[in-house]
Amino acid sequence: MSPDELLLMDDPFTTEDPETAHRVRTAFGSQAARNERGHEDGAPRAYELDGARPHEAAGVQEVPPVRTIVLDRPPIPIAPPVRERNPLREPAVPTAGPERLRVSDLSIAYDGVPAVKSVSLSIHQGEVLALIGPSGCGKTTLLRTLNRLTELTPSAVRGGRVLLDGEDIHELVDTTLRTRVAMVFQQPNPFPMSIFDNVAFALREQSRKRPRRRELEPLVIDALRRAGLYEEVSGDLDRPALRLSGGQQQRLCIARAIAPRPEVLLMDEPCSALDPISTGVIEELIGELRRELAVVIVTHNLAQARRVADKVAFMYLGDLIEYGTADEVFSQPRAPRTRDYVQGTFG
């Protein structure tokens, strides 16, 4: 450590995986603490600010207790986390629906370096599959292969097959596939257009005849409603999308992705750039969405995986180590590595 007396950090871990975050934290001799939403802050003390004013100046209204995160609390050592499952998100479909995606013996290598090593999985409608694992374990590569985005990297080589409803996705036209297997990214990435145009862009087929706004409007509103955003933006759909808050932008991206009624929704760390409140809203939304489609979510946040997932796949260095229901993987992991990871011994 340098002889500096004070180090200021502005959200240094939000986009980092737990392993990196843990290394940085221990490098500074800080003990890790988990706040109530499962975010590790490494902070024994916290103050909540409301807008530009500190809490005490907040004025007339009582700050809702859910927003008070951790206040002046002794550091909590990392412990096997308690299972906390939102009753709202108990299985929407008691038995999983038909199989949507089947990954069989899939391998991906970049420049000859394997990133995913013969992974086999199946993904059903009506369930959320969480891909977890330390960074560099290949979970994002696996996710991006499911809608053939890895093909955009020239050095990527693939082996094995992915079947969507029994058809090999590499036999499908890539643009068709990507409307059937939609994706939401880590950073909210709405296009610099109006809210309406963002969703309408996804709906417009590439054709000479562009559908009129009147024809698209019900579809756009439906998509916004399913993404739980319509009530907040109904007043002015022509507002620039970039004026929305981060959480709203991410829900707009979800609306855009589900507008063409895909069968599978891929989510790459959809909440890691968001605050706990927006995260909560999105997680609730994932619980709703899995009624109509299969969801695959990559997350570094184990607490989040526990909250949203029905099935969990744990990957390590490109290998699929363990795959099972969320209960099994978190409560009775079979592989020692999985146990270490979910209990926070490493990573």
Partner 1 sequence: MSVYAPQLETGSPPTSKRGRRSSPWTWRWRDRLVLACAWTAGLGLCAIAAAIVLYMGYRGIEYLRPGLLFTRPAIGQSQSQTGGILDPLIGTALLTLIGIALAFPLAVSCAVWIAEYGRPSWLARVVESTIEIVAGTPDIVLALFGLSIFQLGVFAPLSFRAEGGGVYGRSFIAAGAMMSLIALPPLFAATRDGLQAVPEHMREAAFALGKTRIATIRRVLLPSVRSNIATGVTLGVSRIIGDTAIVLLLLGETLHIETQGPVPIVNLLRGTGSTLTSYVYDNSPAGEGAAPQKAYAAAFVLLVLVLGLNLLVDRIGRSRDRATGLSGVGGVA
Chain positions contacting partner 1, by CB under 8 A? 47, 54-56, 58-60, 62, 68, 71-72, 147, 149, 152, 174-179, 182-183, 185, 187-193, 201-202, 206, 240, 242-247, 249, 253, 256-257, 260, 273-275, 278
State the nearest-atom distance from the C-beta of 298 to partner 1, in Å: 14
* Minimum CB distance to partner 1, residue 341 (Å): 28
Based on CB atoms, which residue is closest to partner 1, 141 or 147? Answer: 147
**CA dist., res. 160 & res. 153, Å (int):** 18
Nearer to partner 1, 4 or 90 (CB): 4
Q: Which helix (H) or strand (E) holds 102?
A: strand 99-110
| Choice between 128 and 266, CB closer to partner 1 | 266
90 near 126, Cβ under 8 Å?
no
Minimum CB separation of residue 156 from partner 1 in Å reads 14
Q: CB nearer to partner 1: give 198 or 299.
A: 198
Q: How is residue 317 written in tokens?
A: 């260095």
Integer CA distances (angstroms), 331 to 50, 127, 343, in order: 37, 19, 10
Closest CA to 141 of 18, 268, 14: 268
User: Whole-number minimum distance, CB 344 to partner 1, in Å?
Assistant: 27
Shortest distance in whole angstroms from residue 212 CB to partner 1: 16
Residue closer to partner 1 by CB (options 182, 229) is: 182
On whether the CB atoms of residues 156 and 108 are closer than 8 A, the answer is yes
Mark 52-68 as b/e (b = at least 16 C-beta within 10 Å). eeeeeeeeeeeeeeeee
DSSP state, residue 240: B
Q: How far is the CB of 104 from partner 1 (least distance, A)?
A: 23
Q: Which is nearer to partner 1, 119 or 223 (CB)?
A: 223
